Amino acid sequence: MRFILAASAFLLLGTSCAAPAQPAVTVNPTPGYVWQRHPFHGAKLFLDRGSAGAHWQAGNGATWLEPITATPQAVWLTSEWDLVRLPTLVRQAKEQEALLVVVTYFIPNRDCGRNGADTGSHYLSWIDRVAATLGPTPAVVIMEPDAVPADCFTPARAELLRHGVEKLTGGGHYVYLDAGHARWLSTAEAARRLLASGIQHANGFSLNVANRQTTESNQQYGLELSNLVGDREFVIDTSRNGLGPPPDDPYRDDEWCNPWRQGLGEDPTTLKLPMRTAALLWIKRPGESDGPCRGETGFDFSPVQARNLVLGTLRLPSSVREVARSAEVSVPSPAPTRQKPDPTG
């Protein structure tokens, strides 16, 4: 999934301060807003022991993958097929007494291409199935990464998202509409789109999904955006932002896709966070490829990408990184560097 890294100027908003302890439920004073609930307060996050990374680790004795596979991550729902496994995940979350975080990623024209649901009615029918399969056990839903900030955002898409938000929140689930990241839309434009897409009925919004912008920049951006949409809380994806974004080189348009320079970000947490930051989550699953680039052929789990992340995570013990360095995985050849044009012609 490609994210636009320089669609708007970076906004330096100042450092937000820590928030006081939040009650379980607050009343948002803005007319038309539903009650805001806080699902992450005191919650244990679900750990999916059946992930692709966990299976690869078990089959290859890859102890160096433990920092990834032993960390709670979101579960992505991207097709009809993904709903087959969802009842098992719901049951396992109950057994762990943990909060399940899922990502819906099936909007028509997903990624501004011919992906996702065939039609709007197909999408809403799929959302109905998601809500029915989740059942009465509340889950967190990260709703449609990049659908709101994308270039192909339209009033029709906003209407689909609004219906989806209302369906899922009406079923007792906690919905966070995706709002891109700190270097995409201005907060004013992001707020306009979120309001059209039903943020009034959602718990809040998500930031940095599958991206590598810093946690601090997203917290600053998120607080300003929250001020514009009725003080809604937000979550930040820290799965792969340990080294921050790749160098911003206008002559390279492939740095977003499986960059060599990357590392795991902060572990998921709901504790001691700045104002209105509800949680730091691993939403994008570390080790999954960004797409067919740098020797990868698709979007599946890649031990090469996982190893690069572990090697780039300096907070990990050197012994773990050394085991990863010596692991036998197929490493693609570096992509050739594009030459900058000669300004003299």
Task: Cite the active site residues.
Answer: 111, 146, 290
Q: How far is CA 242 from the centre of its chain?
A: 15
Question: Using an 8 Å Cβ cutoff, are 243 and 261 in contact?
Answer: yes
Residue 317 token pair: 């013990």
CA-wise closest residue to 278 among 182, 328, 227, 207: 207
- Spatial neighbors of 209 by CB under 8 A, at least 6 apart, are 103, 142, 145, 146, 178, 181, 237, 283, 284
Q: Using DSSP, state whether 325 is helix, strand or coil.
A: helix
Q: How far is CA 97 from the centre of its chain?
A: 23
Which secondary structure element, helix H or strand E, spans residue 139, and what is its range? none
DSSP class of residue 45 equals B
- Spatial neighbors of 63 by CB under 8 A, at least 6 apart, are 57, 323
CA-wise closest residue to 266 among 301, 218, 228, 302: 218
Burial 4-21 (b: 16+ CB within 10 A, else e): bbebbeeeebeebeeeee
